[in-house]
Amino acid sequence: MDDIQVMICDDSALMRNLIQRIVDGTDGMSVCATAMNGKFALQKLETVKPDIIVLDIEMPEMNGVQFLEERKKRNIKTPVLILSSIATKGAAVTMQCLELGASDFITKPSGSTSSTITSVSGTIIEKISSYGGRFARLNGKQIPPTETFIQQAKLREAEADAAKKGIIDKIKPAHEAAPSTVLTPTLFATRKKEPDVITPIAEPGPIEIVALGISTGGPNALREVFAAIDPKFSKPILVVQHMPAGFTKEFAASLDRICPLAVKEAEDGDNIHPGQIYIAPGDYHIAVEKSTLCNVIRLNQQDPRNGHRPSADVLFESVAKIYKNRALGIIMTGMGRDGAAQLAEMRRQGAWTLGQDEDSSIVYGMPRVAWELGAVQKQVSLENMASEMSRIVRENGK
């Protein structure tokens, strides 16, 4: 098996070292280069070929935004993962990075010490393995499924927690750890099964609402879908994108700039209007509440579901209850299983359902689970998602 090759670009030597320890301590990925700013990163890209670049925003000489602008000019295809403390204070800058072609972002916890950066190590590993792994596979490398990297991250988190509580004496450094199982394509082949069968209790009715759940790979996937959606799309769209609090308002604004429909961050009590897109706020579940004149959006901070708040399951559950067979449910790229069970309930009620296909998903996790549960009527590529959902709504609206 091949390693995912990672370049780290950050002006902080401490940060470069901390991220390198996380990467090099994970079987199946390694650091191939480091750089203290965008200028040196561009120079090193002439001789090294990383599968992903972890990029700071604030750096001397050439910052992250300037690097992304130059990357675009040079048509460099290597995916970029933004990692910067400025992200929590400057969501607009983070969204600018996404608009310039960055794949996703991770916020540094305040302080960025060894202990605080370890708290987000699982997220770092997940996103490096998702975006870097996919790019490496497209370029002919043999890379284990993303789930194998997540398992390692969870083990390290469990070890750290046990060490903190005094259950184990200490965590062995990666180079002292017991040899790991050899990573082979056969060992980590993703199990596939035929979809379960769901018998709807009603025939699909005229569509009144669209509910969409998405996670890893979502920011750029939603940009592609909403930029290409039919300007005459006549139904409201409610979206759960797994994203930290403080970013969804700017994310909605960035989508609004490229989408022919109005896009906004959802607010509690919003009337649900036709032809508008509502993005669930970070750290809030979004649901639908029936009202006499116009159904409304309700937000809450109840416990996370499937490890997420907002959760696609919460949205799909409320849509299945209120709209029954008069809805379209869509599940797209993402790690885990959020949304799958309640998309199956939407399907059981008679709703129309779509899932993103494996080839175009950054992570074929949520769509795969939904497909295997029998929740998805049809799998669609990212390229065709906008036209397919527009067609279904146009032909089955009222």
**Residues designated as active site:** 215, 242, 338
Task: Please say whether the beta carbons of 28 and 183 come within 8 A.
Answer: yes
How far apart are the C-alpha atoms of 229 and 308, rounded to whole Å?
27
Q: What is the DSSP letter of 130?
A: I
How far apart are the C-alpha atoms of 300 and 315, rounded to whole Å?
11
- Neighbour-count burial of 168, counting CB atoms closer than 10 A to its CB (0-12 exposed, 13-18 middle, 19+ buried): middle
How far apart are the C-alpha atoms of 293 and 305, rounded to whole Å?
30
Task: Please say whether the beta carbons of 10 and 56 come within 8 A.
Answer: yes
How far apart are the C-alpha atoms of 59 and 12, rounded to whole Å?
9
- Neighbour-count burial of 144, counting CB atoms closer than 10 A to its CB (0-12 exposed, 13-18 middle, 19+ buried): buried
